[in-house]
Structure 1
Amino acid sequence: MPEISDDDWEKFLRESGEGGSGDAPKEPSARARMVAARLREQEAKGQLPEGWRTGPAWRDTEERARRRRRLWTFVGVPVAAALAFVAMKPSVIPGDPFGTGSDGTDVAATPLPPETAAPSGAPGEVDPDAPTQARPFAGSPALQWADGAAGIVAPAATAVKGFSKAQVQDYLALTRTFLVDANLDPAVLKGGSPNAVLNQIDPIQTDVRDLMRTALRKADKEHDPLLLFSRFDPAEVRIAGNVVKTRGRMTFGPGKNGSVAVHTDYTFVYPVVRASTPTADGDAEATRTIVRRVIDFEMSDPVRYQVTPGKLFITAYRMTSGNSTCGRFDGYLRPEFLADRSTGPTPTGPEEDPYDRSKEFTEGAAEGPCGTLSRI
């Protein structure tokens, strides 16, 4: 007797269960009966192989679909929200992934290493962004300079003939304190009298102390406190933010007559806004005044020379300023904003880059003609 295929047998069972009138199959073979019995037994136990009656394992498929829907709920929605936020504010991504050419902040500038010798040339050009109260160093190479006192670093002390390492170290620390107080102290910058700084100068230097005290009372061309101190008129301007950028170096070595000579050469970049500018107005115009100051000190043996231990003896001082009204000697740095430059004195000297520290500071530089700045 020919055997009935499994498909025919399944068709017969289905039609019989539904009350159909399909023709009865012929008597199945022993093999067919064994297959049918085995399938009925597996069906009763829920063990039918995938593809038999049930089609694909729909329970597992449905469960996987539910898991995918839950995964989208917990992962897909936040990702979509994040993508929407980045689309509206791409600057939140570090770097410049969209090729905008700017990250929109000043924070990304890489700090320069400390200056240990005169640079070979002026700092490179940077994007000519206009400074604002919120970004006072935009468009300035000083963005990579140290903040305030962090830029004034005393070198490692060593013994110099006639002086121990500890003596040299103490004198370098005194020198650093003087530079910080004279150029970065908020009270001095606001036009205050730097009496505490003056007291750091050796009392036997009556010429320097008397000149500065006269200059602070009534400044003129012959008595200019700016030769040693950085001061602004608080009625006109104030520092934008709380950072002044600093770059320079301090060196020492044997001096004349058995002394220790200390040479300091620093540039300070002061960002300012008009005194009337609201502090909340981040887009308000800012400008910068750049001061380069060179001061030489000398430590002599108090046994051999009339000097005061713990005080500084100044042997030379000179300064130059960029973006401060020319020919005005009233004891204050006078920054010029864009509107001021069309009405102020016409520059008569050669173009100068106030950030260029590669050139030696020569005597009389501060008394030269009023030059044109290549940048501020």
Structure 2
Amino acid sequence: FPSVRRTENFSDSQITTALATVKDYLVESSLNPDVLTGQVRRPVEQLLDPDQRGQFERSMSSPADDGLHAATGWLVRFDPAQVELADPQIRVQGTLSYAEDGAGTLEVVSDHTFTYALRPAEGPPKEDGASLFTVRRELHFRFDREDLRLHRLEVRTAHVQAGPQSCSAGAAGTLRPLLAGERADGRGPAVTDPYAPGRPAAALCGTLAPLGAPTPSGAPPQGPQDLQDPQALREFRPRP
């Protein structure tokens, strides 16, 4: 936690409660193995303000890359038929900050990078078959006094960068890692029509820096000279 000091309208204990609630949300939505594999979602949903639970449920049941209903904006989720955790220990680094946003509202911002060791779900485990997949989540949360009292929060925006993935991979429902030995396909992201009605797609795509390429877990990072085809990084702005 950052050092806690009361603001004009919120006490030390209220700020600590907000930070603890955000921590619980990050643990359940980014580290809980049952959430990561799509087996459960209740631990995440129960921390949300009731006004957001309908949107959350639609995002889980019918995910869409429309800036509002990407399941991967709310939580980290993989397809258990494709990948599984090779190591239950997930590396985490990041920060929390807070600020008062009006007399009755407290805002907390989290910015964390999670590194997962993954392997193919099919076939016997191989000693060198794990690879690293990185997800950076910058989330903005809002609390009113009722939220603080009931240990719940409202997700205001979610900015998620995840890779390596192919730009063409549809990842609104589940993240689609490129595992060790795999390379991004040559297709780009879905086309964008600025004249089309409706909400535009929220996903962007860029090139993942060489140090983020899918190396076996525990192997030294590859230098630029080792990569003939840099992998893809996919970026979302779900704005739940």
- Pick from 163, 175, 199 the counterpart of residue 322 of structure 1: 163
Higher helix share: 1
Corresponding residue for residue 231 of structure 1: 77
Q: Percent identity?
A: 25
- Pick from 127, 133, 152 the counterpart of residue 311 of structure 1: 152
The 5 Å alignment of 1:142-291 reads 154-205=1-52, 209-222=53-66, 223-279=69-125, 281-283=126-128, 285-291=129-135
Contact 2:164 2:208 in 1 (8 A): no
Contact 1:231 1:333 in 2 (8 A): yes
SS in 2 for 1:172: helix
Higher strand share: 2
CA distance in 1, matches of 2:5, 2:11: 7
Give the C-alpha shift of residue 307 in structure 1: 8.4
CA distance in 1, matches of 2:158, 2:172: 19
Which ranges in structure 1 are unaligned for 5 or more consecutive residues? 1-153, 349-363
Given the superposition, is the C-alpha separation of residues 228 and 251 from structure 1 closer, same or farther in structure 2, using an over 3 Å criterion?
Answer: same
CA distance in 2, matches of 1:338, 1:248: 26
The 5 Å alignment of 1:344-355 reads 344-346=185-187
Provide Cα deviations, 1:323-346, integer angstroms capped at 9, x if missing partner.
Answer: 12323135111111354316x244
Could you list the structure 1 runs, at least 4 aligned residues long, displaced by more than 6 angstroms after superposition.
Answer: none
Contact 1:190 1:233 in 2 (8 A): yes
Alignment RMSD: 2.5
Given the superposition, is the C-alpha separation of residues 286 and 313 from structure 1 closer, same or farther in structure 2, using an over 3 Å criterion?
Answer: same
Provide Cα deviations, 1:338-368, integer angstroms capped at 9, x if missing partner.
Answer: 54316x24468xxxxxxxxxxxxxxx9x622
Contact 1:248 1:265 in 2 (8 A): yes
Contact 1:161 1:258 in 2 (8 A): no
TM-score normalized by the length of structure 2: 0.73
- Return the index of the structure with the highest Cα Rg: 1
Corresponding residue for residue 298 of structure 1: 142
CA distance in 2, matches of 1:250, 1:235: 34
Contact 1:347 1:371 in 2 (8 A): no
Which ranges in structure 2 are unaligned for 5 or more consecutive residues? 190-199, 213-240
Corresponding residue for residue 178 of structure 2: 336
Task: Tell me the amino acid that sits aligned with residue 368 of structure 1.
Answer: L
TM-score normalized by the length of structure 1: 0.48
Answer yes or no: is 1:369 the counterpart of 2:205: yes
CA distance in 2, matches of 1:241, 1:372: 23
SS in 2 for 1:341: coil
SS in 2 for 1:369: strand
CA distance in 1, matches of 2:10, 2:130: 47
